[in-house]
A and B are shown apart, each in its own frame.
Chain A
């Protein structure tokens, strides 16, 4: 039992922290935020080629570095800390994990090396309902000559307007819930796919609407067993959720650090406002949230590592992911909201970065299910079984 970073893992975290402190400055984030793509392709290329982040947890046989989810988590935490705008969550934590878990050897051999090298991708499953469970999938797939026809639409698709590959979940007509779900991988420029950027409240993460008008895909676009895609897709979502929770952790820590720094600098009533207990106690509560979140995220990353080696651990991952996401969602929002309050008037200006974190906190809370959604998943495990 060693529940702390190894030296190598500490180095991975340090590298990410140093790199992002230099590259993902407030100025850089604000510049990228204003672009349509929502990320800096040159920087993404550098991250892919020099730091090899997209390759990090992917197996070496498929062009990856063969490191673990703990390393991915440590890097994701730093991305959250600096509001790094990049395709990492969608390409790696969602799409690459889907190929890794659902693909056959030949599909992994085809796609994973590309994704590891920085080709972008995303995973789309939620329709207009905005649900993150199987019920949320309403695009359909029907068997056709040598392949399938896909119809319907997806909303809230992370980086859907820029991704090179699309992982699409669709259901057989007439099915509901977890039954009848299949998973496909297609190029984003496949005829019949329309992609529309949706303007978002959180300017640091892009979302898109995808519309599929009777899109034909070949049989080898199917990942896994037709109609039985949900269990594996739910594991993919759990892995992505753990990564998102790590990103939330980084955000809540940064919000705390920024706020304490501001309190140390601002003076009123002839003293530093950091000396007022009313503010110190709020800052202490923020630290408790950040540290508790850290414990939940570290645990979830360890379980994710276990699950990638032994699929029996995916039940434990479901619990771990929901715990981390529920806690980090409320914790990040609490810290960001409290951070604005403690900044006082400047907290609501566009100039100060705290507002960007506040928006990111809300968008991350919503993505993959909010705290109530994840608590209900846990309640089912605790109260409805047996």
Chain B
């Protein structure tokens, strides 16, 4: 057990930091620190250009195998990249769903044609992806998918109908991966398919959802006989759940370290304000700031354990299973701490009609953290059942 990186990895860190210093400037100066959670709608043209710049630098597909055009970087190098990216104020990635979810899924479960068609667009930063899992009736109970996929023999393509919800980046994306029911008589995890669907077509309508922040990161996506080529189903009809769950397994990775650098940046700002406005003299605030510091440092050590344990065995380690519950609770508490440090000034907006300051946005948007991607309650179920081996709650029979 040892901390610290090899000389080779430190050289890689310098390479990354150097490239970011040379490129994240000029036309891209204005998007530093932008586009993160709660701000995903901002500066889209510039962030699109930034995706292509990243691609030119060879920074997309860092983790992918070389055979698919990636760098096949070690876990250490992936986390170094993510840390340096966040440290430099790298903007929220428009291409991260394609790069970190679609691509590994296609590499693991897709066929050659799908890999050949979709990976190059992700690698070049030109084709963006969004995720079509949740539905109005399928939130925590994700398998309760009602969206249907029907194979039209005459047209030799899939026709998809239904509604997805909470879809981030749907307006900016070119494609959506969609979990849909291929067997109309099935229910639950059986009879599903995993489809690759173009957004820009008559059968797809995207409608933004206005959130408590006044902004609209999330969307509803309506499918009305949306077309999907016969070959754009990943795996077979009926395999959808397996593919969809495989994809979720790719979610926890080196990018968690980058997320933590953003959190550190937020905590640093709170500390700066506390020192300036005198809140740092308040013994309770002092305790809470120290507690936030401890929580964030532990989050990092936890990620390092998680990454060190990767590859040791197939199943998720305990530290991986607790990760979502841990960070979302921590971040939500940080939002509240930010408001208590700001005091009355926290009530005054940046501008009318409803333009939030960064920490106000943090306060409001972190309420979503403990809900999306599996609520804290669902996370606790997963921990109790999968890590602790406690029995499942019997399933209800209400139809």
Contact = CB atoms under 8 A, between A and B. Distances in A.
B210 interface: no
28 contacts: A3-B3, A4-B305, A4-B312, A260-B388, A264-B390, A275-B393, A277-B380, A281-B380, A284-B379, A284-B388, A285-B380, A288-B383, A292-B298, A292-B302, A292-B322, A295-B298, A296-B294, A296-B297, A298-B305, A306-B3, A327-B298, A375-B294, A376-B290, A378-B290, A379-B286, A382-B289, A382-B290, A383-B274
B298 A323 contact: yes
A274 B387 CA distance: 13
Given A4-B305, A4-B308, A383-B286, A375 B388 contact: no
Given A260-B388, A264-B390, A288-B383, A302 B290 contact: no
A295 B308 contact: no
Contacts of B4: 1
A309 to B, nearest CB: 11
Interface string A282-317: 011101100110111011011101100000000000
A1 B294 contact: no
B306 to A, nearest CB: 9
Interface string B287-310: 101110110011001101101110
B352 interface: no
Given A274-B391, A281-B384, A326 B1 contact: no
B3 A302 contact: yes
A245 to B, nearest CB: 12
B56 interface: no
A271 B9 CA distance: 53
Interface in A296-348: 296, 298-299, 301-303, 305-306, 323, 326-327
Contacts of A292: 298, 302, 322, 326
A302 B377 contact: no
A287 B388 contact: yes
A294 B393 CA distance: 29
A2 interface: yes
A375 B380 contact: no
A4 B289 CA distance: 29
B224 interface: no
A4 B311 CA distance: 12
- Chain A interface size, under 10 / 10 to 19 / 20 to 34 / 35 or more: 35 or more
Nearest to B268: A382
B390 A2 contact: no
Given A1-B304, A2-B308, A274-B390, A379 B287 contact: yes
B265 interface: no
Interface of B: 1-6, 9, 76, 271, 274-275, 280, 283, 286-287, 289-291, 293-294, 297-298, 301-302, 304-305, 307-309, 312, 318-319, 322, 325-326, 377, 379-381, 383-385, 387-394
A1 B297 contact: no
A193 interface: no
Contacts, number: 153
Given A70-B1, A274-B391, A287-B387, A375 B287 contact: yes
A1 B391 contact: no
A296 B301 contact: yes
A294 B318 CA distance: 11
Contacts of A4: 1, 305, 308-309, 312
Q: Which 10 residue pairs across A and B have the least CB separation, nearest first? A: A280-B384, A375-B290, A284-B380, A295-B301, A284-B383, A379-B286, A275-B391, A378-B290, A3-B304, A295-B302
A3 B326 contact: no
A263 interface: yes
Given A3-B304, A295-B305, 13 more contacts: A1-B5, A9-B1, A275-B392, A275-B394, A277-B381, A280-B390, A284-B379, A288-B322, A291-B318, A298-B301, A301-B1, A372-B287, A383-B289
Contacts of B393: 275-277, 280
B9 A1 contact: yes
B294 A327 contact: yes
A138 to B, nearest CB: 25
- Most chain B C-beta atoms within 10 Å of own C-beta, residue among A1, A4, A260, A287: A1
B231 to A, nearest CB: 42
A16 B197 CA distance: 56
Nearest to A374: B290
A281 B377 contact: yes
Nearest to B5: A1
A126 to B, nearest CB: 22
B388 A283 contact: yes
Contact of A284 (B5, B325, B389): B325
Nearest to B326: A288
Interface in A198-242: none
B3 A260 contact: no
B384 A376 contact: no
Contacts of B2: 1-3, 302, 305
Contacts of A302: 1-3
A6 interface: yes
A5 interface: yes
Contacts of A280: 380-381, 384-385, 388, 390, 393
A272 interface: yes
Nearest to A296: B298
Contact of B301 (A3, A276, A284): A3
Contacts of A284: 325, 379-381, 383-384, 387-388
Nearest to A73: B1
B252 to A, nearest CB: 14
Nearest to A288: B322
Contacts of B389: 260, 264
A291 B380 contact: no
A3 B1 contact: yes
A280 B319 CA distance: 17
Given A383-B274, A383-B280, A283 B390 contact: yes
Interface in A345-376: 372, 375-376
Contacts of A70: 1
A375 B286 contact: yes
B50 to A, nearest CB: 29
Contacts of B5: 1
- Most chain B C-beta atoms within 10 Å of own C-beta, residue among A272, A372, A376, A379: A379
